[in-house]
Amino acid sequence: MDCLDNYRWKLASHELVPLVIGGMGVDISTMELALEAARLGGVGHISDAMACLVSDRRFGTRYSLSKFKRFRHEGDRSSYRFDPGELRESQLRHVCEAMSRKVGPGLIFLNVMEKLTMLDAAETLKIRLTAALDGGIDGLTLSAGLHHKSLRQIEEHPRFREVKLGIVVSSLRALEIFLRAAQRSHRLPDYVVVEGPLAGGHLGFGEDWAQYRLESIVDEILAYLREHELPIAVIPAGGIFTGTDATGYLQAGAAAVQVATRFTVTRECGLPAAVKQAYFRASEEDVVVNSYSPTGYLMRMLTSSPCLDSGVEPKCRLHGYLLDRGGECAYVRAWESTPRGQSVSGKMCLCHHFSRHQCYTCGHYTYRLKDTSRPDGQGGYHLLSAEHVFRDYQHSREHKIHLPIDPGQ
């Protein structure tokens, strides 16, 4: 019986275990998680969502506070701009720390979300990309957007041809748009993450998401790349819950798979312990897809997420990661049209709730997580090690999930 460990992802001079832990903002896919993936020979992601806040929490910097103080008495949201130097420092520090601690044959990539408009989408994205390259990141995974201008912003960088480059898409059409842009920079991506409708975080589908199947999108993209003789590795993602699920995609021609949900209940994952237990406890009915995110993308989350029906005042002076150039965001608009004291219907302040881990975004199969661990005897479940989950994907056969050793025995 075949298993994931029978395959390797050959990427330039690397021979990787074909398992990628996907980026999960805000610091849910921590560097500790990414470092484990790299140590074990796969690929881990850190995320650059809310880079200043992550730096403040990890390294004791005070970028968010200093931004807040700069605009404390300013009412015009379009002026709440990020300090370019601070943004660069925060990103650089995070990436340098991760890369300096990396051991083992695997790689660490950065998940870069285009949707973080940060009052000046082009400039702030360029700063984040450039700082990551300067910090020595192994790869850049462009996500949450079509990124048709992103390569242009770094094509002069000395590491542009050497860094591994990939994009997350949910359709062949999105990939084609990106490839046209990549042609202009004379730089093909090295990999494409094909994210299906069962993934966690934001979805690249509309309300009809349930009608799509990851297998079909992957087949279509594989056929397209073959027809056009494009040497781009295909990495399916979304709902790949067992090593056997993963192996099926490798047999079909994928180079690796990207997974996330199973790692949300590991000790290395950045979610608070109580939230990890909420993921374990979830039933199928608790996992929903809704339009609460002000980004305009649908998002999957647990119905127990505290962000739902909260009427919190927007925290744009402190954060403001989703403000457009005019200082607007869909949550701000919804909040302003809601009488004070009432919950804002149908939208959440993504910055505020993500910064506090109050939006329990998750993959469709979160309700199966309880089958991957043992009860702790106190109404919860034992957390897993990232190594345990990684090796389970790598070696398991026939959809078996190996439970951790019972600490009580």
Interface residues for ligand FMN in 345-374 (CB under 6 A)?
A: 361-363, 365
Any contact of residue 277 with ligand FMN (CB under 6 A)? no
The β-bridge partners of 334 are none
* Interface with ligand FMN (CB under 6 A), residue from 44, 139, 238, 314: 238
Angstrom CA distances, 341 to 330, 336, 338, stand at 19, 12, 9
CB 353 within 8 A of CB 307: yes
Q: What is the 3-state secondary structure (H, E, C) of 62-115?
A: CHHHHHHHHHCCCCCHHHCCCCHHHHHHHHHHHHHHHHHHCCCCCEEEEEEECC
Cα gap 240→319, rounded to integer Å = 33
Any contact of residue 240 with ligand FMN (CB under 6 A)? yes
Interface residues for ligand FMN in 4-43 (CB under 6 A)?
A: 22-25, 28
Stretch that binds ligand FMN, among 5-13, 174-182, 183-191, 196-204 (CB under 6 A): 196-204
* Interface with ligand FMN (CB under 6 A), residue from 41, 200, 204, 236: 200
Any contact of residue 237 with ligand FMN (CB under 6 A)? yes
Choose between 130 and 295: whose C-beta lies nearer to ligand FMN: 295
Cα gap 2→251, rounded to integer Å = 9
Site string for ligand FMN, 111-150 (x = CB under 6 A): x-x-----------------------------xx------
* Interface with ligand FMN (CB under 6 A), residue from 163, 165, 168, 318: 168
The β-bridge partners of 361 are 301
Closest CA to 385 of 58, 7, 40, 16: 40
Choose between 50 and 225: whose C-beta lies nearer to ligand FMN: 50
Any contact of residue 294 with ligand FMN (CB under 6 A)? no
Closest CA to 194 of 164, 228, 230, 237: 237
Cα gap 45→201, rounded to integer Å = 14
CB 5 within 8 A of CB 17: yes
* Min CB(364)–ligand FMN separation in Å: 6
* Interface with ligand FMN (CB under 6 A), residue from 49, 50, 131, 389: 49
CB 131 within 8 A of CB 88: yes
* Min CB(182)–ligand FMN separation in Å: 19
Residues that bind ligand FMN (CB under 6 A): 22-25, 28, 47, 49, 111, 113, 143-144, 168, 195, 198-201, 237-240, 258-261, 264, 361-363, 365
